[in-house]
Structure 1
């Protein structure tokens, strides 16, 4: 498998909460422009975000300046079917990675995002009923129609990744996984090793642990936060979130952290974390605080 001919920006803009930020149309446009001015050109979406409303809110803003589309990469995901209190006749949370659902999800995303194509489409979660041949058929059709340029996965194990890749001619270009000092399984279960092996850029979601790293009082969170403050002082920042982003980006698979904020100052601070460099002992001190023990 050859390395994919696609580049994410070093950080990725996440819009899964845009429906809760109470932004006007102009503010949403300003948010997009702020990201682009900072060099954050990869925009992460999913069909289900905001009960299927977040892509619409983004698309409405993009329509004010459609020329911005050429400056960004639009990413979306499909396959999750939440119950949503009986929405669309659903009575149980489930996954649907059938060919017909993948194609319909893409059509819906294109309409809502007001674009003719997606740069990247991801299967949002591994589906126990996933038929790799059927997914491959959907991917091939969408690519042939010019509706999706590249494909990837999210939250897949190495075996699930390999299964789907075995049916595809083009390489999967990413695995979007949770990475933070509170969620380090991908460092140890082979997922990031696989990304490094194939020179695939992993996308990192929930880098701040859903805010728990900044506010939770569990013993683990307190240990980590105390260590983050210590490292922050040594590297010259008062913002421990910058240390977290630097810690994630130090992994040799070069994860691209997703910034899930609508606050312009926090976004700028996150991107400026690229100027923070940790040494190995600082990195492992955070690992140790997270695990509760030293390395063997």
Structure 2
């Protein structure tokens, strides 16, 4: 079957990501983590035109990257068909960091370099397409963290770098000590996490022509809970009008924004992966966008 045509977003001169991204945060929670089953998920993504896989060293208690790596070892040709995003900088008392006394952040050069080496080994690859610093670190020394990221890009082990959950000032601070450009900020954006549309986070990225990645674009399923029935009513009405399900409308709401938001979908259900690209078929006009925004916030705009 020919892959579904999906727009691609140019993050840097030599890196494009698919407009929808497959998130592997919960891949270790699936009852079946076999290479064959993981490969089936990736193939379902590719059939939708979703080529970008989102990982982090900490996912699954430091196990998720190796689950992906087992699939890539079994089917090495898959590596050339996908882009791998991963993250580092969180140290939790689990897996390889089980000796840690307290969950903390580490953006030292030594930790970032060691994390990348572990990620490369676990994912059975010799390069990472996009490496993100997972969380702002109160102890970050930009003059150490920035050059460490630059060195990884120069080495070829990492093609591009970015951040996750950074506020504009954190982003600006790190960028000030770097040669390489930070190409994205992965932040929480959904109908139930819409503060970024007014608090300056998105505006900062738009001003710099930096496309944001959106984690939990369905608010971890929260938009479907009974307390958000007014929002669900609008989502379901638009979905019925356009022949898709409500989740496709919620994703389309993000896709409609001019910031070129890249939503990260996180389902383990292959049937749901297979309909992910329905979001790109939904038409959202300005009034429908604001109707959803109003239903989500519970009040009309001023």
TM-score computed with the length of structure 1 as normaliser: 0.94
- 1:233 corresponding residue in structure 2: 240
Match for residue 192 of structure 2 among 182, 198, 204: 182
- 1:151 corresponding residue in structure 2: 161
C-alpha distance in structure 2 between counterparts of 1:85 and 1:117, whole Å: 23
Once the 2 structures are TM-superposed, how far is the Cα of residue 70 of structure 1 from its aligned partner?
1.2
Show structure 2 runs of 5+ residues with no match: 1-10
Once the 2 structures are TM-superposed, how far is the Cα of residue 87 of structure 1 from its aligned partner?
4.9
C-alpha distance in structure 1 between counterparts of 2:230 and 2:16, whole Å: 35
C-alpha distance in structure 2 between counterparts of 1:40 and 1:199, whole Å: 22
TM-score computed with the length of structure 2 as normaliser: 0.92
1:224 aligns with 2:237: no
C-alpha distance in structure 2 between counterparts of 1:83 and 1:30, whole Å: 32
1:57 aligns with 2:67: yes
Post-superposition CA distance 1:9-50 (Å, at most 9, x none) = 111011111111122321111111221222111110000000
Post-superposition CA distance 1:87-122 (Å, at most 9, x none) = 532222211111110000000000000000101000
- 1:261 corresponding residue in structure 2: 267
1:74 aligns with 2:80: no
Contact 1:42 1:75 in 2 (8 A): yes
Post-superposition CA distance 1:58-100 (Å, at most 9, x none) = 0000111112211111110001112349953222221111111
Bigger Cα displacement from structure 2, 63-72 vs 113-122: 63-72
C-alpha distance in structure 1 between counterparts of 2:110 and 2:98, whole Å: 16
1:12 aligns with 2:21: yes
User: What is the CA RMSD across the aligned residues, in angstroms?
Assistant: 1.6
Contact 2:41 2:273 in 1 (8 A): no
1:272 aligns with 2:278: yes
Match for residue 99 of structure 2 among 74, 89, 96: 89
How many residue pairs match? The answer is 290
Contact 2:85 2:128 in 1 (8 A): yes
